[in-house]
A and B are shown apart, each in its own frame.
Chain A
Amino acid sequence: MVQYKLAPLDAAFAALSDATRRGVLEQLGHGECSITALAVRFNMTLTGIKKHISILEQAGLVVTEKTGRVRTCRLGPGRLEDEAAWIERYRQRWALRFDALDDIIDELKQGEGQNVGSE
């Protein structure tokens, strides 16, 4: 169930929601690595790790480059946005709640709290 039409923030968020993918980023933080080496490191099949890498690539968190028969992965330009993206997502959740709360507060102000229970 991978969606390819995600906004950049969603892509980063989805990419970072998986422990293996976060592990891959951590590993690449220490230096570039071939896909084969990553598969061994995370005890996965080549196909399995490629799926993860592809999601990280779409989010701009990883770039890959093929030299001969070896595909090398390194951190991409999106990596500095991780925390900022998470915090923005968290903020949006609260903002949505608080916008709903604004409406309720307006009702309370007008109605002195009468008839504002669940309808």
Chain B
Amino acid sequence: MTINEKQDEIIEEFDLFEDQLDKTQYIIDLGKKLPPMPDSKKTDENRIMGCQSKVWVDAELKDDDQTGARLYFYGDSEQTAQISKGLVGLLIRVLSGEKPEDIANADLYFIPRVGMGNLITSLRAGGLASMIERMKAFGRAYTEKTV
């Protein structure tokens, strides 16, 4: 699936919920499903600044003979911060396994479209924007390495 197909799928899923609380619950559940990152990866270098709770993101490039190099993301938040974890999980779902240049150039239109109101727009804006920026920076860095 392309980045945009995954985004469309997420928009459809969120459309099933009418209530913001149900959407939030969905994000929390996504967070709970996210495999934990090993503590050794929870370094200051991998830490995203701008989140009120602690969040880490790391990436790994894997070569696939048929499709070329793909970037895989790993992320986590401090134990109790389930909403942040869910947001990392959503971004990972959209961006992980894609080509570095597609990640670097991705237009993440699903965020305003899932209709989570102030959850995304206000409180998390700083942290969420930093998460996206970090993931795209990985994309850019690996684009240079792979071309």
Tell whether A pairs with B: no
Which residues does A use to contact B, with CB under 8 Å? none
Which residues does B use to contact A, with CB under 8 Å? none
